[in-house]
Structure formats: C-alpha cells, structure tokens
Amino acid sequence: MFRGQWGKANKDKFDQHFKFDETPKQHYLGHEWRKEANGDWLDCLKMRQPSR
C-alpha cells in the first residue's frame, strides 16, 4: 500500500530508502529500509517489536 500510493508518486525518494523482492507474487519478502539515502540497509522484519 505504501509503495502503491506514495512510492509510485515519489519513486526516486522511495527507492533511496526502501527496497523489497520485486519477484511477482513475492513482493512481501525482503523488505529493507534505511534512514539516510547512503546508509546501510536494515531488514524490516528484524526491526519489528514483539507483540504485546
């Protein structure tokens, strides 16, 4: 949803900070992000907080 709306309208900015598996039917895998455009990529799933 985030990519489908904001990401498509702001592709360059989105691609600097977010990436994921673009294989058809696997776009929900490999999510990574970085705070700075030249920073290290971080795995989004490893960053998730445990459920309470």
Residue 52 inside a domain? The answer is: no
Residue 21 inside a domain? The answer is: yes
Global pTM value: 0.62
Average pLDDT in the chain: 77
Q: How far is CA 33 from CA 4, 29, 37, 52, in A?
A: 16, 13, 9, 24
In terms of C-beta distances under 8 Å and separation of at least 24 residues, what long-range contacts does 15-22 make, across chains too?
A: none
Provide the domain limits for residue 8.
2-47
pLDDT of residue 33: 86
Token pair recorded at residue 10? 């702001």
Reported confidence tier of residue 38, pLDDT bands at 50, 70, 90: very high
Across residues 16-38, what is the average pLDDT? 80
| Tokens 């592709």 -> residue | 11
Count the domains in the chain.
1
Reported confidence tier of residue 7, pLDDT bands at 50, 70, 90: confident
Residue 12 inside a domain? The answer is: yes
Percentage of the chain with pLDDT > 90?
Answer: 17
Largest CA distance in the chain: 36
